[in-house]
Structure 1
Amino acid sequence: MRQHHRTLRLLGSLLLVAAGAGVTAAAPARAAAPTPLDRVVPAPAAVHPGGSPYRITRGTHIRVDGSREARRVGEYLADLLRPSTGYRLPVTAHGDGGIRLRLTKGVSGPEGYRLDSSHRHLTISAGSPAGLFHGVQTLRQLLPPAVEKDSVQPGPWLVAGGTIEDAPRYGWRGAMLDVARHFLTVEEVKRYVDRLALYKFNKLHLHLSDDQGWRIAVDSWPRLAAYGGSTEVGGGPGGSYTKAQYREIVRYAASRHLEVVPEIDMPGHTHAALASYAELNCDGVAPPLYTGTEVGFSSLCVDKEVTYDFVDDVVREIAALTPGRHLHIGGDEAHSTSHADYVRFMDRVQPIVAKYGKTVVGWHQLTGAAPAEGALAQYWGLDGTSAEEKAQVARAARGGTGLILSPADRIYLDMKYTEDTPLGLSWAGYVEVRRSYDWDPGAYLPDVPASAVRGVEAPLWTETVENSAHVDYLAFPRLPGVAELGWSPAATHDWEDYRVRLAAQGPRWDALGIGYYRSPQVPWPAA
């Protein structure tokens, strides 16, 4: 497979040379050559190049079948293409030719798709709306980067001829956004959702509570948001989402085929809640709000029955707002909770999550208790994590607990790239682009069966992150590599191939207004 991809790159290069041969003004001819089908991120499962390219023109229609779901994807595609092409691109259920979006049986898996490009038409076929949507993201990357601009560009809008058959390696391809340390607005979260959609992520994990802030309205405990959400790291004004705002985030993510996974971290990382309600503290005294960055000092009172009334109310209200299957209960760095109390707490709390129809997700420390049937554990350890802790996770995995891999020294997006990086932390080391990409989730943890790995997730903690520009700088260019780890077959994994494909994304990010770190490990095009 690696040789196959290298051969395709060579063919693409030869086509570019041939396109310019004998032409006096060679640059325009080269610019008109379409992007090779294998040049996208994540790498497709199978690529079969050949035939004439498809050209989007003023007369192009987007043709969908009669389903509402296909029409929604068609309208999304039209909205993407209209500003830069200047074309009308009507979405219709009639006629032939043009760009066709088809929901049909026989396409691989719930998120798989097939893209066929020829002179006459371009067809994306999928067995589900999510598959159609992912196919549209591939089409988007096969068009010139200028397609991302919000003003009319000259084109031409060519898509290379051939076929892509594609489906994800893992069902969990997530990104975590910490809105607790520094609050991010609804619009900032939606902006990140659009970044994730481009690379076929399907989970948005929102870290909604921590020591520094509580970010979601809970009607039965109103001071959580009103008081607990009133500040952030460094003492800024903080903020929180109303239920209507949270529903808007959930709706917007769903329109991009991402499931929102809300997290309420407990029993530790709970200082904002403890400051809001005195009765949640073992001594009945509410501490002052906290705006620092230390961890491990807070804990709900495991012995008090009001603690479980609190958890029940919070889980009930958030579950009612969240149509997705999963609810994250945190569970990490509970250093102020004894092991026995931690086990008792998780034994009480996991059934509450199940009572409201959700599947438990927890950080991998959950495996030190008894994970509920069907629970997922999110591993965030390092290469240097103790063998004992890794063995604990492996035992749980062999016992049926699914794993989401988020190793901090690989894909924590808040880690600095180098010691000179102006944002981020370095407690897990420096994480350059190659380090974040060059590992195999299926073989990462010893004694863990590959079947236990459900996927990968890239957390972005916000101790140093205050706005979308900061998010972009730390996420790019590492985020697409995590997407490829989650989507692409292991056989396609090759750093030398990937760095070339990644470099080609730079002009697209420029067009989208993404300010990214220009890693010296990547051969970026000259500005």
Structure 2
Amino acid sequence: MRTHHRSLPRPAAALLGSLLLVAAGAGALGAVPAAASPTASAPAAATPLGQIVPAPAKATAGGSAYRITAATRIRVEDGSREARRIGDYLAGVLRPSTGYKLPVTDAEGRDGIRLELHRKDGELGAEGYRLTSDGRSVTVVAREAAGLFHGVQTLRQQLPAKVEADSRQAGPWLVAGGTIEDTPRYAWRGAHLDVSRHFFTVGQVKRYIDELALYKVNKLHLHLSDDQGWRLAIDSWPRLATYGGSTQVGGGAGGYYTKAQYKEIVRYAASRYLEVVPEIDMPSHTNAALASYAELNCDGVAPPLYTGTEVGFSSLCVNKDITYKFVDDVVREVAALTPGRYLHIGGDEAHSTSHEDYVAFMNKVQPIVAKYGKTVVGWHQLTEATPAKGALAQYWGTEGTGAAEKARVAEAAKNGTGLIISPADRTYLDMKYTKDTPLGLSWAGYVEVRRSYDWDPGTYLPGAPSEAVKGVEAPLWSETLSTSAHLDYMAFPRLPGVAELGWSPAATHDWDTYKVRLAAQAPRWDALGIGYYKSPQVPWPAG
């Protein structure tokens, strides 16, 4: 997760302003400043098939390009609610920029944009798709709705970047001819967002969800509790949110989600085929809870609320029965709000909890998670205890992590514990790019764009069987981040690279070809109002 946090000097407001100027009020992806009216432009060529992020498993170019026109219809299968919903989503992306009506219809026809679910197409799996483009139509086929949605993201990237604008643009709107056949490498392609150190509103979380969806991310790991703030209403322990959620790093107002607001985040994520994985961090990272209820402390005295950035000083009282009533109540309520399979229990940096107490705590807490129908996820320190059957350990170590710690995690993987690979010196999006980055931390080192992409999750942890690796995740901690502009600047351009590591076959991973595809994303980010770091390692378009 994270170690050795140090408070950093606040960057100068002018520097931040010059680097991070974006539309502060932008909401969901696509809410960008009004673009210019259509103007005459030189004839445009279609984006070569497959020149997208993440790279598809297979792309075969050939034949005529498909052109979206005023006559284009989006055709979905009769009676398929999921296909209709995805068709409406696609129409919502395309209509503002093209100016076309693009009706979504279940009327039969071989022309237009066709979205089809073929339930018996086993080759495509739960998230794969096949996109075929020719002069008459562009067709996306999938076995499951998630695959259809991912195929729509590919279609979106095959179109000119200005398709993302919220006002009418000049065409043509071409999709190169040929076929893409695509399935993901890993089932877990995650992004984590820390709403505890700084609170982010429902609208801000939705915006990030939309950005994740464009790159086929399918897990949103929400860090809902920490020393600096508790962010979800719990009916049985109401002061957790009303008092424990009342502040944040630096002493700001904080905030929390009502149950209805959290359910709206879950619903919205599901509409983009992301599963929310809530994290309630324990036994450490719990000062907000300890400050809210004195009885959770071993001495019965509530500490003050905390607004700093140190870690590892707090701990639930492992030997008190009320601790486990507290955990049971919280897990029960969070599980009831979360339809997904997983519940993250943290478990890292428990520096003020003895090893014996840590093991005893995890032995009691993991069955509580199972009791409410969820599968345990924990940071890799969970392997210091005995991970429950089916549990996943999220490895956040670095190249400097000790051999014994790496070996312990690898041994747990050999014994059946699945791994999510999140090395802090590769995937932590809050790490500074360089010493001059005005945001972020640097305890794991500087993480430039190439470093975040140029590695293989399947072979990263020595001794861990490749089949134990369930996927990859990019955490974004918020000690220094408090606005959507901050999130965008630290996530882009690194997030798409981590997403590609999760989706694309290992054989496609090549920095020299990736950096060209990545650079081509920049006009799309501009159209979407995403302010990003212009790394000198990437050949960005001129102008």
TM-score (norm 1): 0.94
Aligned-partner Cα distance in 2 for 1:37–1:483: 19
CA deviation after TM superposition for structure 1 residue 279, in Å = 0.2
CA deviation after TM superposition for structure 1 residue 109, in Å = 1.2
Which amino acid is 1:379 matched to? Y
CA deviation after TM superposition for structure 1 residue 108, in Å = 1.6
Partner of residue 73 from structure 1, selected from 86, 92, 96: 86
Partner of residue 377 from structure 2, selected from 350, 361, 380: 361
Aligned-partner Cα distance in 2 for 1:317–1:458: 27
Structure 2: unaligned runs, 5 residues or longer: 1-39
Partner of residue 95 from structure 2, selected from 82, 104, 107: 82
SS at match of 1:265: strand
Is contact 2:41-2:170 (8 Å) kept? no
Partner of 1:64: 76
Partner of 1:3: none
Aligned-partner Cα distance in 2 for 1:119–1:208: 49
SS at match of 1:264: strand
Higher helix share: 1
Aligned-partner Cα distance in 1 for 2:357–2:147: 44
Partner of 1:213: 229
Partner of 1:285: 301
How big is each residue's C-alpha offset from its partner over 1:392-444, in whole Å with a ceiling of 9 and x where there is no partner? 00000000000000000000000000000000000000000000000000110
Partner of 2:540: 524
CA deviation after TM superposition for structure 1 residue 388, in Å = 0.2
Indicate yes or no: 2:49 matched with 1:33. no
Which amino acid is 1:449 matched to? P
SS at match of 1:28: coil
Partner of residue 112 from structure 1, selected from 112, 116, 128: 128
CA deviation after TM superposition for structure 1 residue 475, in Å = 0.1
CA deviation after TM superposition for structure 1 residue 95, in Å = 2.7
Aligned-partner Cα distance in 1 for 2:248–2:86: 38
Partner of 1:8: none
CA deviation after TM superposition for structure 1 residue 380, in Å = 0.2
Aligned-partner Cα distance in 2 for 1:290–1:252: 31
Partner of residue 159 from structure 1, selected from 169, 175, 183: 175
Equivalent runs, 1:283-432 vs 2, <5 Å? 283-432=299-448
Indicate yes or no: 2:145 matched with 1:129. yes
Which amino acid is 1:89 matched to? L
Indicate yes or no: 2:66 matched with 1:54. yes
CA deviation after TM superposition for structure 1 residue 27, in Å = 7.2
Aligned residues with identical type, % of pairs: 78
How big is each residue's C-alpha offset from its partner over 1:496-519, in whole Å with a ceiling of 9 and x where there is no partner? 000000000000000000000000
CA deviation after TM superposition for structure 1 residue 462, in Å = 0.2
Aligned-partner Cα distance in 1 for 2:482–2:171: 37
SS at match of 1:400: coil
Aligned-partner Cα distance in 1 for 2:291–2:483: 26
How big is each residue's C-alpha offset from its partner over 1:225-283, in whole Å with a ceiling of 9 and x where there is no partner? 00000000000000000000000000000000000000000000000000000000000
Aligned-partner Cα distance in 2 for 1:86–1:320: 43
Which runs of 4 or more aligned residues in structure 1 lie more than 4 Å from their structure 2 counterparts after TM superposition?
none
Aligned-partner Cα distance in 1 for 2:151–2:132: 10
Partner of 1:231: 247
SS at match of 1:60: coil
Aligned-partner Cα distance in 2 for 1:318–1:444: 33
SS at match of 2:426: helix
Which amino acid is 1:36 matched to? P
Aligned-partner Cα distance in 2 for 1:392–1:150: 51
CA deviation after TM superposition for structure 1 residue 456, in Å = 0.2
Partner of residue 95 from structure 1, selected from 108, 112, 121: 108
Which amino acid is 2:74 matched to? I
Aligned-partner Cα distance in 1 for 2:276–2:64: 41
Aligned-partner Cα distance in 2 for 1:333–1:305: 23
Structure 1: unaligned runs, 5 residues or longer: 1-25
Which amino acid is 2:93 matched to? L
Aligned-partner Cα distance in 1 for 2:227–2:369: 22
Is contact 2:287-2:306 (8 Å) kept? yes
Partner of 1:437: 453
Which amino acid is 2:92 matched to? D
Aligned-partner Cα distance in 2 for 1:444–1:346: 27
Indicate yes or no: 2:245 matched with 1:245. no
Which amino acid is 1:100 matched to? R
Which amino acid is 2:71 matched to? G
Partner of residue 56 from structure 2, selected from 44, 54, 59: 44
Partner of residue 196 from structure 2, selected from 172, 180, 205: 180
Which amino acid is 2:177 matched to? G
* Higher RCO (CA 8 Å, separation ≥ 6 residues): 2
Aligned-partner Cα distance in 1 for 2:327–2:41: 63
SS at match of 1:63: strand
Aligned-partner Cα distance in 1 for 2:373–2:171: 49
How big is each residue's C-alpha offset from its partner over 1:119-167, in whole Å with a ceiling of 9 and x where there is no partner? 0011000000000000000000000000000000011100000000000
SS at match of 1:456: strand
Aligned-partner Cα distance in 2 for 1:274–1:95: 61
Partner of 2:8: none
How big is each residue's C-alpha offset from its partner over 1:312-356, in whole Å with a ceiling of 9 and x where there is no partner? 000000000000000000000000000000000000000000000
Number of aligned residue pairs: 500
Aligned-partner Cα distance in 1 for 2:489–2:254: 22
Aligned-partner Cα distance in 2 for 1:273–1:371: 25
SS at match of 1:262: strand
Aligned-partner Cα distance in 2 for 1:95–1:401: 48
| Cα-Cα RMSD | 0.8
Partner of 1:12: none
Aligned-partner Cα distance in 1 for 2:365–2:179: 49
SS at match of 2:269: helix
CA deviation after TM superposition for structure 1 residue 301, in Å = 0.1
SS at match of 1:170: coil
